[in-house]
């Protein structure tokens, strides 16, 4: 029985969207025909969102009241094998509460947004998959054990495959973009690499619990066993288990080197991109590490160091690639990978709570950015930022909300607080005395550089898209309708409210959400106090990035902007330049000169090709494929063909042996049997003629005839003779009787 008043409703949060997914696929084409069954998605995700507010809201209120909540509700026994039982249930705790609220909110707003955005391309299949996608993430968040989490983990992978490849029947795709079907397969197969690591890690951890006669997959039980010291795992094996679990996160959360699938995932609808980047797919990997963080805490610190290093590499790698992308969704895609790197850094430097903090913030402002990008694409008819410009006048809602989202991403909105907390944790654990501290220092440096790059590339996007004049005069640019702008403003307001609340928490520590998160999620840790030097430095870096983007990319209303294909950068010409325009012209001239050098062009090419990681993978695949084919050819010629020849020779020799056996053994036996039969027949004939016919039968007949002759002499017919014979017989009998009676001794 739940101690929470509304805890019993928790299982409905993922189940309702699952049920409506099947209702949508079967009845969506009959109900709400114009919107392709969007009403079912609105009902399912709306009810799920309300239930999440009720259930998770109660958990958070109890937590604010200093009431520790960690409750596992069993819905049913799922699997039983011998003495091992696996339950299907719900885990209500601070982690599931805060993450589920963000997931449910974004999913519901995407359903609203899709009613207009997918008005022409939507289908019941789309809304069924959206329902299932959101349900999978909610089910994963509330999973009490590793197997249930892995089930929803795989459902989410299938949904991402279906939704990324939603436009699988496209005949033509824009230049430089992958075909949706290929992108879907790439995402599915790449993430499966991580899934294999995760599954192996789960099994190894389970075997360790089996070794102490308490087999379980339950998160709370395993954590309690570690805390009690009953689960003694070899340190090297423990590190391996932790890294295998992290391997699953690398695939799902697109961390280096398995990040290559996420940019191509932009081939799906923008609404799908929003869900993947802000609320579902990529957040699942970070959540996995946060949920199983006790494994990393009890493992050696080397495991967390690997996590931090991967996060640092991913953050700066993707941040630099985003500098040169011209596809609006591609820029946001690499931005997501970079921000996921920040979250991974947070996990690696012991700040699981601040990583979750960034999950929440990033989920809000990245959903805002992606849906704003969808509005831009919908209103301008293009995804290439070089073809945009001047949208500020035509799209008064979109430019404002995207400015709010861009500021948050750059680190001047709600995103500042969680990003700054991660940078502060990295700085706190860095140093120069040990190799471990030196590597963490490099991670911290990576986070600092990435903070500057983030502000630069997101405002590069904003300055190229919205100010200036329209560079596609033939296309009618228009603002999106209320079905799209209302979700945008809701996300923008939530982002501003969070920023205001977090700002108050700087001056009133009792209201600090970060401190609360640390207290809820890592009660044995102490939250680091806000460092004004680090905070102001982060803001200065963000402002410098925005200022540099302004000086290079901001065009005035009367500016003429062109993108010559032969040049490494675009041109902005002003007829009557003022002092600001002259300053901008100087920076642009320097930028063009740097890009025109061999080194500049080389760096530009490397970044455009994503450090050639995709090409490296393709070359590796081709190399392995070629070597594999050559090896298979050699095996066919030398092994299989040799085996066939050996079998043929053996068969031929066996046939010869069989023929010899047939001629000499079988036929000999047949002839011997025939001769024996003839001899036996001859013996039988001889026995019949000489013994039976001549011996027994004829002699018996002669004996009978002789006996009859003797008896015939007795039969004289004289009565006196018969009387004499009778008297003699009687006398003989009397004598025999007397002898027998012992009267006359012999």
Determine the pLDDT at residue 664.
Answer: 83
Q: Which of 159-173, 469-483, 584-598 has the highest mean pLDDT?
A: 159-173
Determine the pLDDT at residue 433.
Answer: 86
Q: Average pLDDT, whole number, for the chain?
A: 89
Determine the pLDDT at residue 713.
Answer: 67
pLDDT at 746 over 70: no
* Residues 6 or more apart whose Cβ sits within 8 Å of residue 413: 365, 404, 405, 407, 495, 496, 499
Give the 3-state secondary structure of residue 269. Answer: coil
Q: What is the 3-state secondary structure (H, E, C) of 287-347?
A: HHHHHCHHHHHHCCHHHHHHHHHHHHHHHHHHHHHCCCCCEHHHHHHHHHHHHHHHHHHHH
| CA dist list (Å): 251 to 242, 259, 348 | 15, 7, 17
State phi, psi for 173 to the nearest 5 degrees: -120, 150
Angle at 680 between CA 676 and CA 685, to 5 degrees: 150
CA atoms 89, 92, 96, 98: torsion sign:
positive
Determine the pLDDT at residue 85.
Answer: 79
| CA dist list (Å): 80 to 76, 85, 139, 675 | 11, 4, 21, 72
Mean pLDDT across 483-500: 95
**C-beta separation of 467 from 392 below 8 A:** yes
**C-beta separation of 249 from 285 below 8 A:** yes
Give the 3-state secondary structure of residue 77. Answer: strand
Give the 3-state secondary structure of residue 573. Answer: strand
* Residues 6 or more apart whose Cβ sits within 8 Å of residue 264: 178, 182, 183, 186, 187
Mean pLDDT across 546-551: 93
More confident residue, 626 or 604: 604
**C-beta separation of 337 from 371 below 8 A:** no
Mean pLDDT across 725-737: 83
Mean pLDDT across 593-606: 88
Mean pLDDT across 587-610: 87
State phi, psi for 354 to the nearest 5 degrees: -70, -30
More confident residue, 49 or 604: 49
**C-beta separation of 480 from 116 below 8 A:** yes
pLDDT grade, residue 729 (50/70/90)?
A: confident
357: its two tokens = 């903090």
- The pTM score is 0.84
In our burial notation (b when 16+ CB lie closer than 10 A, e otherwise), range 565-577 reads: eeebbbebebeee
Distance CA 8, CA 665 (A): 84
Length of the chain: 746
Angle at 314 between CA 406 and CA 104, to 5 degrees: 55
pLDDT grade, residue 676 (50/70/90)?
A: confident
Distance CA 410, CA 417 (A): 11
DSSP-derived letter for residue 385 is G
Mean pLDDT across 681-686: 81
Determine the pLDDT at residue 459.
Answer: 96
* Residues 6 or more apart whose Cβ sits within 8 Å of residue 369: 332, 335, 402, 405, 406, 409, 458
Percent of the chain at pLDDT > 70 equals 97
* Residues 6 or more apart whose Cβ sits within 8 Å of residue 745: none
Angle at 298 between CA 297 and CA 300, to 5 degrees: 90
DSSP-derived letter for residue 694 is I
Burial class (CB in 10 A: 0-12, 13-18, 19+), 324: buried
In our burial notation (b when 16+ CB lie closer than 10 A, e otherwise), range 426-441 reads: bbbbbeeeeebeebbb
State phi, psi for 717 to the nearest 5 degrees: 90, 0
In the block, residue with structure tokens 């948050």:
408
Distance CA 77, CA 86 (A): 6
What number of other Cβ atoms are within 10 A of residue 91's Cβ? Answer: 22
**Cross-strand pairs, 89:** 74
Determine the pLDDT at residue 626.
Answer: 81
pLDDT at 720 over 80: no
| CA dist list (Å): 559 to 372, 458, 464, 556 | 25, 21, 12, 5
pLDDT at 355 over 90: yes
pLDDT grade, residue 1 (50/70/90)?
A: very low
Distance CA 238, CA 633 (A): 42
Mean pLDDT across 264-288: 94
Determine the pLDDT at residue 596.
Answer: 82
The helix-helix angle for 513-521 and 482-507 (nearest 10°) equals 80
Phi-psi region of 158 (alpha: psi -120 to 50; beta: other; left: phi over 0): alpha
pLDDT tens, 169-217? 888 777 778 899 999 999 999 999 999 999 999 999 999 998 888 888 9
Mean pLDDT across 302-329: 94
232-236, 263-267, 331-335: range with lowest mean pLDDT: 232-236
């Amino acid at each position: 029985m739940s101690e929470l008043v509304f805890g019993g409703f928790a299982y409905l949060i993922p189940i309702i969207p699952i049920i409506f997914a099947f209702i949508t696929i079967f009845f969506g084409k009959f109900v709400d025909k114009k919107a392709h069954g969007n009403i079912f998605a609105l009902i399912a995700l709306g009810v799920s969102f309300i239930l999440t507010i009720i259930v998770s809201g109660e958990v958070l209120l109890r937590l604010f009241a200093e009431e520790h909540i960690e409750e596992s509700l069993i819905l049913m026994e799922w699997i039983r094998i011998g003495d091992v039982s696996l339950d299907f249930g719900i885990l209500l705790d601070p982690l599931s509460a805060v993450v589920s609220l963000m997931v449910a909110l974004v999913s519901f707003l995407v359903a609203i947004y899709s009613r207009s955005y997918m008005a022409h391309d939507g289908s019941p299949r789309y809304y069924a998959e959206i329902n299932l996608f959101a349900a999978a993430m909610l089910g994963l968040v509330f999973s009490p054990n590793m197997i249930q989490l892995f089930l929803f983990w795989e459902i989410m992978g299938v949904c991402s495959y279906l939704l990324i490849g939603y436009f699988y029947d496209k005949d033509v795709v824009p230049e430089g973009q992958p075909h949706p079907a290929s992108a879907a397969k790439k995402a599915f197969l790449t993430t499966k690499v991580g899934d294999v690591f995760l599954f192996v890690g789960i099994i190894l951890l389970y075997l360790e619990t089996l070794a102490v006669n308490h087999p379980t997959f339950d998160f709370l039980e395993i954590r309690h066993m570690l805390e009690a010291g009953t689960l003694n795992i070899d340190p090297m094996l423990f590190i391996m288990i932790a890294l295998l679990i992290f391997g699953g996160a690398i695939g799902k959360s697109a961390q280096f080197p398995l990040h290559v699938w996420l940019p191509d995932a932009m081939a799906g609808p923008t609404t799908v991109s929003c869900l993947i980047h802000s609320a579902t797919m990529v957040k699942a990997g970070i959540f996995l590490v946060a949920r199983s963080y006790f494994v990393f805490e009890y493992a050696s610190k080397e495991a967390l160091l690997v996590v931090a290093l991967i996060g640092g590499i991913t953050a700066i790698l993707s941040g630099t690639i985003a500098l040169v992308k011209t596809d609006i969704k591609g820029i946001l895609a690499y931005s997501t990978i970079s921000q996921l790197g920040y979250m991974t850094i947070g996990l690696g430097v012991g700040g699981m709570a601040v990583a979750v903090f960034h999950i929440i913030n990033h989920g809000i402002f990245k959903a805002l950015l992606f849906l704003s990008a969808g509005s831009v694409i919908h209103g301008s008819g293009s995804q290439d930022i070089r073809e945009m410009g001047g949208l500020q006048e035509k799209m008064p809602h979109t430019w404002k909300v995207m400015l709010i989202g861009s500021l948050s991403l750059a680190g001047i909105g709600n995103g500042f607080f969680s990003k700054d907390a991660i940078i502060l944790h990295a700085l706190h654990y860095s140093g120069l005395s040990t190799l471990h501290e030196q590597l963490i220092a490099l991670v911290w440096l990576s986070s600092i550089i990435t903070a500057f790059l983030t502000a630069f590339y997101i405002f590069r996007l904003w300055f190229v898209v919205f100010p200036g004049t329209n560079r596609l005069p033939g296309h009618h640019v228009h603002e999106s309708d209320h079905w799209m702008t209302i979700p945008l403003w809701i996300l923008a307001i939530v982002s501003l409210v969070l920023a205001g609340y977090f700002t108050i928490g700087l001056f009133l520590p009792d209201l600090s959400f970060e401190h609360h998160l640390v207290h809820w999620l890592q009660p044995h840790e102490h939250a680091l106090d806000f460092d004004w030097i680090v905070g102001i430095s982060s803001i200065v870096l963000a402002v410098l990035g925005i200022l540099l983007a302004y000086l290079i990319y901001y065009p005035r209303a009367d500016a003429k902007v062109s993108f010559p294909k032969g040049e490494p950068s675009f041109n902005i010409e002003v007829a009557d330049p003022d002092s600001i325009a002259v300053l901008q012209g100087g920076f642009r001239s320097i930028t063009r000169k740097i890009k025109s050098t061999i080194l500049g062009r080389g760096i530009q090419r490397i970044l455009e090709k994503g450090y050639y990681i995709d090409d490296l993978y393709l070359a590796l695949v081709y190399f392995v494929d070629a070597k594999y084919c050559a090896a298979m050819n050699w095996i066919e010629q030398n092994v299989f063909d040799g085996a066939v020849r050996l079998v043929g020779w053996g068969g031929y020799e066996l046939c010869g042996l069989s023929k010899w056996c047939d001629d000499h053994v079988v036929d000999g036996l047949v002839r011997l049997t025939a001769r024996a039969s003839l001899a036996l027949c001859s013996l039988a004939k001889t026995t019949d003629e000489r013994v039976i016919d001549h011996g027994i039968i004829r002699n018996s007949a002669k004996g009978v005839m002789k006996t009859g002759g003797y008896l015939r002499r007795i039969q004289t017919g004289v009565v006196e003779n018969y009387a004499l014979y009778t008297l003699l017989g009687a006398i003989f009998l009397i004598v025999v009787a007397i002898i027998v009676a012992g009267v006359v001794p012999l």
